């Protein structure tokens, strides 16, 4: 079967922002849950990830990720690992592998420098984005031979501004870094609340350091049929949740 995924022509490497469709998980995890840290059945998660690997043209055990912690570390995959490190991004020039991050509202960002043969994937929640995870990812790619002028980055499906009402703590932390970033906020529906453009903020941070960046238009919160969403789960009162994966491959 063809696994549903969203792609962007600017990324010169096999990739996909995969949806929640096309997997074997059930219930709240239906169906392509790719989070190994969830309470989903491990065998089902393994099958889901194997399907993603196959869609990207690599072996089932050649899809690698990290243990995401909302930090600013980008790990470098220079040899297959058995135990993923704690990080929120990973970069590689290793052939025959795919690398990915899982999200359920945070921003997945895929990167490629086709000339250098370097690819990367980053998990950018608002805290990580403000703290510098995207810049750390580009720095790791440069360490592998990439050039920021050649890197293309795409911000994938995440919670979009219309769905993302936030409180003063988030806004204050963003503005404490750069007051001009007030442009990424609009008034919320409630007093003392704002709507934050996470995707736009991520893309702007990349453009500032010379990286070409684009955004796919999908809103994870608004599209329940296609995406898992932490905000939607929270508004519904909690419970189990799956995560979609965004991944990019480095072939031969």
Q: Which residues contact 206 (CB under 8 A, 6 or more apart)?
A: 109, 134, 138, 153, 212, 213
Give the CA distances from residue 184 to residues 48, 116, 164, 179, in Å, rounded to whole numbers and listed in that order. Answer: 35, 33, 11, 11
Q: What are the structure tokens assigned to 218, written together? A: 């999908």
Q: Which residues contact 120 (CB under 8 A, 6 or more apart)?
A: 74, 89, 90, 91, 92, 99, 110, 111, 112, 137, 138, 140, 141, 248
Listing from the earlier edge strand, what are the strands of the sheet with 185-187?
A: 165-166, 194-196, 185-187
Give the CA distances from residue 32 to residues 35, 64, 120, 205, 251, in Å, rounded to whole numbers and listed in that order. Answer: 9, 16, 22, 30, 24
Percent of the chain with pLDDT over 90: 99
The predicted-structure confidence for 94-135, as pLDDT tens digits, reads as follows 999 999 999 999 999 999 999 999 999 999 999 999 999 999
DSSP calls for 145-162: T--TTT-EEEE-SB--GG
Structural domain containing residue 50 = 9-146+217-250
Q: Is residue 130 part of a domain?
A: yes
Q: Is residue 233 part of a domain?
A: yes
Q: Is the pTM of this model over 0.85?
A: yes
Tell me what pLDDT residue 7 has.
98
Mean pLDDT of 157-171: 98
Mean pLDDT of 146-152: 98
Q: Is residue 167 part of a domain?
A: no
Q: Is residue 14 part of a domain?
A: yes
Report the CATH number at residue 33: 3.60.140.10
The predicted-structure confidence for 62-95, as pLDDT tens digits, reads as follows 999 999 999 999 999 999 999 999 999 999 999 9
Q: Is residue 56 part of a domain?
A: yes
Tell me what pLDDT residue 252 has.
77
DSSP annotation of 65: -
Tell me what pLDDT residue 2 has.
87
Q: Is residue 166 part of a domain?
A: no
The predicted-structure confidence for 26-45, as pLDDT tens digits, reads as follows 999 999 999 999 999 999 99
Q: Is residue 194 part of a domain?
A: no
Mean pLDDT of 5-25: 97
Instruction: Decide if pLDDT at 1 tops 70.
Output: no
How many domains is the chain built from? 1
The whole-chain average pLDDT of the chain stands at 97
Q: Is residue 86 part of a domain?
A: yes
């Amino acid at each position: 079967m063809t696994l549903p995924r969203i792609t962007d022509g600017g990324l010169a490497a096999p990739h996909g922002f995969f949806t929640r469709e096309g997997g074997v998980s059930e219930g709240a995890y239906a169906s392509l849950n790719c989070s190994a840290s969830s309470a989903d059945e491990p065998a089902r998660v393994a099958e889901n990830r194997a399907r993603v690997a196959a869609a990207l043209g690599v072996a089932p055990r050649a899809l690698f990720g990290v243990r995401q912690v909302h930090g600013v570390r980008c790990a470098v995959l220079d040899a297959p690992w058995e135990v993923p490190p704690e990080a929120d991004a990973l970069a590689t020039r290793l052939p025959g592998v795919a690398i990915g991050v899982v999200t359920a509202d945070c921003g997945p960002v895929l990167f490629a420098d086709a000339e250098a043969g370097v690819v990367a994937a980053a998990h950018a929640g608002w805290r990580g984005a403000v703290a510098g995870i995207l810049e750390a990812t580009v720095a790791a790619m440069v360490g592998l031979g990439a050039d920021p002028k050649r890197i293309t980055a795409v911000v994938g499906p995440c919670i979009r501004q219309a769905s993302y009402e936030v409180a003063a703590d988030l806004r204050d932390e963003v503005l404490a870094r750069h007051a001009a970033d007030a442009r990424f906020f609009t008034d919320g529906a409630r007093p003392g609340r704002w709507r934050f453009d996470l995707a736009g903020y991520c893309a702007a941070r990349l453009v500032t350091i010379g990286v070409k960046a684009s955004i796919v238009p999908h809103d994870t919160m608004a599209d329940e049929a296609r995406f898992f969403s932490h905000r939607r789960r929270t508004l519904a009162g909690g419970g189990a949740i799956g995560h979609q994966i965004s991944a990019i491959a480095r072939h031969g």
